[in-house]
Amino acid sequence: MGEFKHFVIVKFKEGVAVDELTKGMEKLVTEIGAVKSFEWGQDIESLDVLRQGFTHAFLMTFNKKEDFVAFQSHPNHVEFSTKFSAAIENIVLLDFPSTLVKAPA
């Protein structure tokens, strides 16, 4: 089995300090060694009708599922998740073993 991915797409509640949350998430992933990589972005291209209100995507990569499980139960993640969840209006979350078809150059 290859890497394990944690993919989150969110629509934040009106008035949420998104910059504060993304900085908090960046800090969180640097503190937890189980996270192999982390990337995030804000949608700037999709049509509103296709976006369905979702604006931000977050992708974490782990070497294996067990690392993801360790991340989920890490006290820093548990604490941050409470704050993050309170800021979310809607969310899509996918956790999956990945299949690499083309490696980065």
Question: Burial level of 102, CB count in 10 A (0-12/13-18/19+)?
Answer: exposed
Dig out the tokens for 35 from the structure. Answer: 């996270």
Strand 56-62 and strand 37-42: pairing?
A: antiparallel
CA distances from 69 to 7, 52, 64, 73, 101 (A): 14, 30, 9, 7, 25
Q: Domain 4-97, CATH 3.30.70.100 — does that match?
A: yes
The full set of domain ranges for the chain reads 4-97
- Per-residue model confidence as pLDDT tens digits over 33-73: 999 999 999 999 888 888 899 999 999 999 999 999 999 99
pTM: predicted TM-score of the whole model, two decimal places: 0.91
- Per-residue model confidence as pLDDT tens digits over 2-37: 899 999 999 999 999 999 999 999 999 999 999 999
